[in-house]
Amino acid sequence: MKQNKNNPKTKQYQENNKNIKEKVNESFERHFRIYLVSGHPAFIIDEEGEYYYFHRVTSSPKSGHHKNWEINPNPDPKRSTPMYIVKMEQKDKKKRFGKKLKYKVDLVFIERKK
């Protein structure tokens, strides 16, 4: 049986891709932007080409049955309730994000998944 090198289940594919490291932009400044799809802020953690890697922002302590990270005090001066960041990392095109928000918060515990 011939193994297809493009099939992720084959040993040849896994060996060819095991040493590939995804570039993480070290100089990228993490920030918040409005995610135009939902109208809510998003925490941008990295960029790659025409894409942003981000975490959604919510006011709920849970997303489905998963707990969200609590950010207290809320960096949004208009809100007194805590901010929550969804743990699941997402990727979307830069054109789907609005202006950069001026929230000042250092969330070093959030790392980009590779």
pTM confidence score: 0.72
Radius of gyration, CA atoms only, the chain = 18
Please, which pLDDT band fits residue 11 given cuts at 50, 70 and 90? low
Please, which pLDDT band fits residue 79 given cuts at 50, 70 and 90? confident
Rounded average pLDDT over 32-53: 94
Report the run of H or E that residue 16 belongs to, with start and end.
Answer: helix 11-17
CATH class assigned to 28-101 = mainly beta
Q: What is the pLDDT of residue 4?
A: 54
Query: Six-digit token pair at 56?
Result: 């959604």
Question: Which residue is it, tokens 């969200």?
Answer: 68
Question: Per residue in 62-77, pLDDT tens?
Answer: 999 999 999 888 888 8
Greatest CA span in the chain, whole angstroms? 63
Among residues 113, 58, 70, 60, the alpha carbon closest in space to that of 89 is found at: 113
Every domain of the chain and the residues it spans: 28-101
Cα separation of 57 and 69, whole Å? 10
DSSP classification of residue 68 = P
1-5, 25-29, 44-48: which has the minimum mean pLDDT?
A: 1-5
